[in-house]
Structure 1
C-alpha cells in the first residue's frame, strides 16, 4: 500500500520544450517570391500609374507649349473639361468612336466564334495548320501589318485594284481608296478585325476543349441542331469567357491609334478620327496639352463605363443562373 510519503511510481512528464523561433532563412524563403516580382510590379506601376496621374493633373491646368518649355502651369479647375464638352466636334468624335468600337467588336466576336468552332471540328493536321496561320497573323507587328495594307490598297500598283479590274470592275482602275472617308474607314476596320480575330478564336477554342463531350451527345440525341447546340450548350458553358474576350476587344478597339494614324492620321476630312487620334491631334498639332489630357481622361472614363456595364451584365446573368439552379 502506498502511503502519503511514498514515491509516485509514474514517470514524471517533462515540460514541452519552448517552440524554437522561426529560422531567418525560412522567413527569407517566404519573402523570396515577392522580391522576385517586386521589380516588375514597381516598373509597371511607374509606367502605367504615373502617366495616368500626370495626365489627370495636367487636365486641370493651363498647359500649353510655353508651360512645356518654361514650366509654371497654373491651375484652372474644370475649365478644360467644360471647353471640351461644349465643343460639338468632340461629340461627333465620340459617336464615331462608339460606332468604330461596336462594329469592330461585333465582327471580331462573330468571326472569332466561327473560327473557334471550325477549329473544334477540324482534324489534327488541318487544325495545326490553321492555328499556325492564326498565331503568325497575331504575331505580326502592328506597323508592319498596317504597311502591308497600305500596299494592298495602293491606287496604281495595289493588288486589290488589280484584282478588281481583272474581275471586270473597271471603275476601280487607279481607285484612290484613302481619298474617300468611307473606304478608308472600311480598310481600317478590315485591318483591325484581321489582327484581332486570332486572339479571340484561339481563346474561345481553348474554352471549347473544356466542355464535356457528353453534353453535345445529349443535345444531339434530343434532336438539337447546330444553332440550338451553340445557344443551349456552348454559349452558357463559356459565358464568362465570352464576356472576358469581349471586354478585352472593347479595350483593344477603342484605344486603337497606330493603325489609324499611320494610314490616314484621322482623315480624310476627319472620317477616321477617333478619341485617341483626336486627343493626339489637339496635344501635338495644336500644342494644347491641357485639352488633350482632358480628352484622354474622358476617353478612359468612357472605356471604364463600357467595361463596368459589360461585367455587371455578366455577373447578373450568372446570378440568375445560380438562383435558377
Structure 2
C-alpha cells in the first residue's frame, strides 16, 4: 500500500499561476488612444502661443536673440503699440479685408453649393472635381499664377483688355496702385477659399430631407423662399461654422499678400500678420512683432468666441427639441 511522505509533501513547492498584467478599463481605452495626438497638438499649438506671449512681455531685440537674457518689461510693448497711429490704421484695413473676403466667400460658396444640388450626376462630378483641383493647388503656386496674369508687359489680363479695345491697359501696372492690388488679392483669396466652403455647404444640403422641398413646392414657394425658410434654418449651425472658419483663414492670411506685395504699395495691403512680420524682420523688434501677433489672437477670440458659444447653444436647443 502506497503512502505519501508528509515531509516531502510539506517541501513540495505549490504551483503559482502567472499573474496577468492589469489592463485598464474599457472606458479608458479611447482616451489612451487619442492621448498622443492630443499631446502633440497641444505642444504644437500652445507652445508657440505661450512663447509669443512671453516675448511680447520682454525687451527682445537682435542682441537678446543671439545671447539670450531678455529683460522683462511687462506691458510696455503693448503700450507702445496702442498709443501709436499705425496699429489702428492696419487694424481697420485688416477688418475691411476680412469683411470683404468673408462676405464674398460665403456668398459665392452658397451659390455654388445650390448649383451642385441642382446639377445632374455627371456635371456635378465634373464641377466637384474642378473645385477639388482648385483647392489642391498650393498657395504659393496659385499666387505666382496670379502675378503672371496681371503682369504689366506679358500678363494675360492686359493682353485681353487691350485686344478688346481698351488701349489704356497696354502696359498697365496693376500692382502699383493700392486699390487694384487690394482687389487682385481679394480675388485670389476668394478663388482659393470657395472650394472648401462650397463643398462643405453642399454636403450639408444633401442631408436635408427632399420631402421638405417637395412640400414647399406644392405649396407654391419660390426658390428664394425655400432657401430662406428651409435651407438656412436647417443649416444655420453649418453656415455659422463655415463663416467662423473663413474669418480665421482670411484674418490671418499672410503668404499671398507677402508674396505679391509685401504689404505695399505704400502699405495699402498691410494687414496685422504682415505688419507683425515686417516689424519683427525689418526692424528686428521681435518683442513688438510678438505683441502684434498676440493682439491678433485676442481679436479673433473676442470676435469668434461669443459667436461659437451661440452656435453651441442653438445646437443644444435643436437637439433638445428633437
Same fold per TM (> 0.5)?
A: yes
My pick for the range that moved more, 314-323 or 302-311, is 314-323
CA contact (8 A) 2:158 2:172 kept: yes
1:109 matched to 2:106? The reply is: yes
Which residue, 302, 307, 314 being the options, matches 1:305? 302
Partner residue of 1:18? none
Which residue, 170, 174, 177 being the options, matches 1:177? 174
1:239 matched to 2:225? The reply is: no
How high is the TM-score relative to the length of structure 2?
Answer: 0.89
Q: CA deviation at 1:310?
A: 2.3
1:161 matched to 2:158? The reply is: yes
Separation in 1 of the partners of 2:246 and 2:43? 25
Partner residue of 2:12? none
Q: CA deviation at 1:27?
A: 2.9
Q: CA deviation at 1:247?
A: 0.4
Separation in 1 of the partners of 2:25 and 2:321? 49
Separation in 1 of the partners of 2:21 and 2:113? 52
Structure 1 unaligned regions, length at least 5: 1-21
1:142 matched to 2:136? The reply is: no
Deviations 1:24-79 (A, max 9, x none): 36438776654543333232222211110000011111111111111111111111
Separation in 1 of the partners of 2:164 and 2:306? 46
Separation in 1 of the partners of 2:257 and 2:73? 32
Partner residue of 2:255? 258
Which residue, 52, 58, 72 being the options, matches 1:55? 52
Separation in 2 of the partners of 1:167 and 1:297? 48
SS at structure 2 position matched to 1:155:
coil
1:186 matched to 2:183? The reply is: yes
Runs of 4+ in 1 over 4 A off after TM superposition: 28-36, 315-325
Separation in 1 of the partners of 2:148 and 2:260? 11
Partner residue of 2:227? 230
How high is the TM-score relative to the length of structure 1?
Answer: 0.88
Structure 1 vs Structure 2 CA RMSD: 2.2
Which residue, 287, 292, 295 being the options, matches 2:289? 292
Separation in 1 of the partners of 2:228 and 2:52? 44
Q: CA deviation at 1:265?
A: 0.2
Separation in 2 of the partners of 1:25 and 1:320? 42
Instruction: Evaluate the alpha carbon distance shift between residue 316 and residue 168 of structure 1 in structure 2; reply closer, same or farther with a 3 A threshold.
Output: farther
Deviations 1:193-233 (A, max 9, x none): 00000001000000000000111011111111111110000
Instruction: Evaluate the alpha carbon distance shift between residue 34 and residue 319 of structure 1 in structure 2; reply closer, same or farther with a 3 A threshold.
Output: closer
Query: How many residue pairs were aligned?
Result: 304
1:195 matched to 2:192? The reply is: yes
Structure 2 unaligned regions, length at least 5: 1-18
Q: CA deviation at 1:169?
A: 1.1
Partner residue of 2:115? 118
Instruction: Output aligned runs, 1:13-28, within 5 Å.
Output: 24=21, 26-27=23-24
Partner residue of 2:207? 210
